[in-house]
Each structure stands twice: as structure tokens, then as C-alpha cells.
Amino acid sequence: MGLADILAKVTDSYERQARLYPALLAGLPVIVMATVLYGSNSIVTAASTVAASCGGLYLLANIARERGRRLEPILFASWGGKPTTQLLRHRDRSIESPTKRRYHAFLSQMVNLEFPDEAKEEINPLQADEMYQSAVRWLLNHTRDQSKYKMIFDENIAYGFRRMRIPTKSST
């Protein structure tokens, strides 16, 4: 991994906003404490500068990414499934039925799968969830153009930032 690769990662807006900023926020108390204890003209400041210059920010972004990936299954389990899957379920009332039927019809046609009706979903909710997840995976793969789907990209950044939150006992 060369310097150009490291710079590309740190200057990429997704990497910076969804991974680097949460990692920096998590490390902020340590940085503040070290500055208060040792002052700003200390070896800590010099070491921080050298670490940042030698890939420390890239390392922080990667640590944040891996932590977020490990946290996702815990979050999904505590939420009752992936948010997109939940929204596509008939039993979820976040989206009104006519809109949900339109979403089902469109996605069903795009992935060439017949989505379950309410009764079939109730009989086999795991199979229904797999169909919804397959459709969402297709949708993600077809909306990666950041300029064409800027709103989706911005929401993905916000999600990447928020998933760094550690669930508490009261939120699980």
C-alpha cells in the first residue's frame, strides 16, 4: 500500500465521513487527556503527528470499518433484522400498503422473484426475508453511481457514521 493509496482512502468522502470521523471521535478523549497531561509541545504531539503522517489516519479508518462490520450483526439482531428488510415486510407499517405494493412489484420484476403475499410471509418469514434481502442486494448493486444517486450515497455515509454507536443494554 503506497502513499497514494493511503491518501486516496483518507480523502475519499465516504472513508473520511463514515469511518475516519467516528474513529477520531472515539479517540478524542485520549487525545484530550494526553494534551492536558503532557501539554501541546510534548512527545505526544510529535508522536501523533508522525503517526498521522505514516498512515495512522488510514489505520483508524480501517479499524472503524472493521468495528462497524462486527457491530452490524448485533445491531440487526437487536433491531429485528436489517432495516431495508424490515421495511419490505408486510407486517411492518412504516410504509403505507400501496407504496409497499409498488416497491414489491418493481423489485420482484427486477430480480425475477415472486415476492410473498402477507399469508406466505407469515407462514415462512425467513424465506420472505431472504427474497427481500436479495432484492435489496440487487438494488444496492444498481445504485452505486455516486453522482446519479447522491442522496443514497449521502445516506450510506450517515449510516456508516451512526453504526459505530455501541448498543447499550437498554437499546438491545
Assess whether 71 and 8 both reside in one domain. yes
pLDDT tens by residue, 10-22: 667 766 666 677 7
- The answer to whether residue 150 is domain-embedded is no
pTM of full prediction above 0.75: no
State the residue range of the domain holding 136: 83-141
- The answer to whether residue 156 is domain-embedded is no
Assess whether 25 and 71 both reside in one domain. yes
pLDDT tens by residue, 52-83: 656 667 777 777 778 888 888 998 999 999 99
* CA 17 – CA 4 distance, rounded (Å): 19
For the chain, what is the mean pLDDT? 80
pLDDT greater than 90 at residue 89? yes
Could you tell me which residue, 150 or 99, shows the higher pLDDT?
99
Assess whether 135 and 98 both reside in one domain. yes
Q: What would the grid cell of residue 32 be?
A: 484530550
Assess whether 14 and 74 both reside in one domain. yes
Assess whether 72 and 87 both reside in one domain. no
Question: Total domain count for the chain?
Answer: 2
pLDDT reported for residue 126: 95
Assess whether 8 and 48 both reside in one domain. yes
C-alpha closest to that of 159 among 9, 19, 23: 19
